[in-house]
Copies of this chain bind each other. A is one copy, B any other.
Amino acid sequence: MSKEEVIPQLTKVFRQYGYEGATLARLSEATGLGKASLYHHFPKGKEEMAAVVLKSMSDRVEASIIEPLRSSGEPVDRIRVMTKNVDKLYSGGKQSCLLAVLALGEAKNLFHNEIQNAFNVWIDTLVQVVMEAGIERSQAQQRAEDAILEIQGSLILARSLDNTVPFKRVLERLPEELLLASG
């Protein structure tokens, strides 16, 4: 089994349990590998697993969200691609955001730079798209922050209330919310 093949299972455990709750026993069970085998692939142990999982998630965000936002289509179409892929990335609201989950406790100190950077890239890229649609910088900045914050908040609600409806609604209205004239 290659290193890449176990990343999805590791990711799932970190998303569900957080850094401290993601024990080697759980990571071992999720991957079907013994603890020693995990150390063969990730010599620095749990911290490395989290780092690799975080990097893998950042790459997926880059490919499925950032890159489409930077493409050459109409702003509204690019944002629709984003929301479609956000829905996929969070399994329709059923899975937590790895970035948000790792911004807690010990992991916050370990991965603060990566997390901060990931959110900032997303927001900054969104700002560019919104400005292309004719909205001024400060307004675009606020709308971009609002978009991310609504996605994150709706994920909290989804797991707290076992209800993905607000998540779906947030995604549905995001294009107009971001691009509506004046505001």
Residues of A participating in the B interface, judged by any CB pair closer than 8 Å: 16-21, 96-97, 99-101, 103-106, 108, 115-116, 119-120, 142, 145-146, 148-154, 156-157, 159-162, 166, 169-170
Contact = CB atoms under 8 A, between A and B. Distances in A.
A119 B150 contact: no
Question: From DSSP, what is the main secondary structure of chain A's interface residues?
Answer: helix
Most buried by B among A19, A160, A170: A160
A16 B106 CA distance: 9
Contact of A116 (B142, B149, B162): B162
9 contacts: A21-B21, A21-B106, A101-B104, A104-B159, A116-B162, A145-B157, A145-B166, A151-B153, A152-B156
